[in-house]
């Protein structure tokens, strides 16, 4: 979902002609998660209730299509979010509209633990640094709940209803941000007795996604009012950048990949606050993006149930057969 891109070469991102991902999901894809350890395994969850695991370095067949190495369907409803455990690829978690958050053993592709929230879970978040084993789940219920992976039980309940998104700070491990239907972003410190730190009106409509910058000093939010806003965490009253036409989340010190409803993934330069590129490739609106650090590859999933691979145009090497097919074929009589 969220990843950092740093060079301007990324402005030339285009749909990869050489790499592709075979059709895995049969319904809209909701979430992509790339492991942070070696950026090799991609998890995808979708409305078809299934989770797919892809090895991005696997030798694809002749058509260079990456196929899913494992898949499992254990939820009763659409999978809303998937996330790797930051420290170890042996574990990941999924949340679903069926009201559960499930923790998986990757090797067995089986559920190890389950948290029942009795309300539609929009998103969950685990610590990006592995500093703690808390899992925060944003639901449509009355409160935001924290589960403890070590005990398998709920540890804490934050009294804020109808939350859409949560995010742990990479700098302060116990700082949690959440956004919801009221269009406000709330900041929490889960160690304090008075957990609620601050809140501010970020959007006029529902906050759909939150993303901390790598350094944790800034947080980007996007709302259903089609705006992306970047805020300084320390001094939230100050609004850093604001722009239009956006709709999901990713991140970057420099670039933010925003899947938009008009079938375009927009590349936003956070420093300048403007759109630097538009990625046209999806045939239905994209929902999620994942940046593969160090490989200059972007993965995006969408409602057209496809995962697209984007690479800088300069790095694409077409095969001879492809080159041949990309020639003009005028006949002599024309």
Residues within the interface to another protein (CB under 8 A): 15-17, 20, 23, 26, 63, 263, 280-281, 283-284, 303-306, 308, 318, 321-323, 325-331, 333-334
Residue with smaller CB distance to another protein, 116 or 284: 284
Paired strand residues for 24: none
3-state helix, strand, coil in the chain (%, to 5): 5, 50, 45
Sign of CA dihedral 73, 103, 97, 164: negative
**Sole residue written with tokens 């894809």:** 29
- Whole-number minimum distance, CB 172 to another protein, in Å? 41
Residue with smaller CB distance to another protein, 23 or 205: 23
- Whole-number minimum distance, CB 107 to another protein, in Å? 30
Residue with smaller CB distance to another protein, 59 or 333: 333
Q: Tell me phi and psi for residue 41, to 5 degrees.
A: -105, 125
- Whole-number minimum distance, CB 224 to another protein, in Å? 20
Residue with smaller CB distance to another protein, 63 or 215: 63
The CA distances from residue 216 to 102, 129, 159, 317, in Å, are: 27, 12, 24, 37
Give CA angle at 46 (2, 278), nearest 5°: 45
Q: Cα separation of 316 and 20, whole Å?
A: 12
Residue with smaller CB distance to another protein, 6 or 26: 26
Nearest CA to 159 out of 127, 134, 133, 194 is that of: 194
- Whole-number minimum distance, CB 321 to another protein, in Å? 7
Residue with smaller CB distance to another protein, 142 or 325: 325
Tokens read off for 154: 């709920």
- Whole-number minimum distance, CB 52 to another protein, in Å? 15
Q: Strand pairing of 91-96 and 79-84?
A: antiparallel
- Whole-number minimum distance, CB 51 to another protein, in Å? 19
Residue with smaller CB distance to another protein, 223 or 281: 281
Q: Cα separation of 248 and 119, whole Å?
A: 22
- Whole-number minimum distance, CB 297 to another protein, in Å? 14
The 3 state secondary structure assigned to 216-230 is CCEEEEEECCCEEEE
């Amino acid at each position: 979902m969220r990843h950092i891109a740093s060079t301007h070469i990324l402005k030339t991102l285009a749909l990869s002609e050489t790499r592709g991902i075979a059709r895995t999901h049969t319904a809209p894809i909701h979430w992509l998660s790339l492991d942070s350890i070696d950026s090799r395994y991609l998890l995808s969850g979708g409305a078809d209730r299934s989770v797919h695991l892809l090895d991005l370095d696997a030798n694809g067949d002749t058509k260079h299509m990456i196929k899913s190495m494992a898949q499992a369907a254990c939820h009763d409803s659409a999978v809303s979010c998937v996330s790797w455990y930051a420290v170890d690829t042996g574990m990941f978690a999924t949340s679903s509209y069926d009201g559960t958050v499930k923790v998986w053993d990757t090797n067995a592709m089986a559920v190890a633990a389950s948290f029942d929230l009795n309300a539609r879970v929009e998103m969950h978040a685990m610590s990006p640094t592995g500093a703690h084993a808390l899992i925060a789940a944003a639901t449509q219920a009355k409160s935001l709940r924290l589960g403890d992976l070590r005990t398998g039980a709920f540890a804490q309940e934050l009294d804020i209803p109808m939350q859409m998104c949560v995010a742990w700070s990479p700098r302060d491990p116990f700082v949690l941000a959440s956004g919801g239907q009221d269009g406000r972003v709330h900041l929490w410190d889960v160690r304090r007795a008075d957990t609620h730190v601050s809140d501010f009106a970020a959007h006029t409509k529902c906050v759909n996604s939150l993303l901390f910058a790598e350094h944790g000093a800034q947080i980007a939010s996007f709302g259903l009012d089609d705006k992306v806003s970047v805020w300084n965490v320390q001094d939230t009253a100050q609004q850093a950048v604001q722009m239009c036409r956006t709709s999901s989340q990713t991140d970057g010190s420099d670039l933010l990949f925003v899947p938009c409803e008009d079938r375009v993934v927009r590349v936003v330069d956070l420093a300048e606050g403007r759109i630097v590129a538009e990625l046209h490739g999806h045939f239905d609106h994209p929902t999620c993006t994942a940046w593969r650090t160090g490989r200059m590859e972007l993965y995006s999933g969408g409602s057209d149930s496809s995962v697209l691979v984007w690479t800088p145009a300069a790095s694409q090497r077409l095969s001879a057969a492809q080159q041949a097919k990309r020639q003009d074929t005028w006949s002599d009589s024309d």
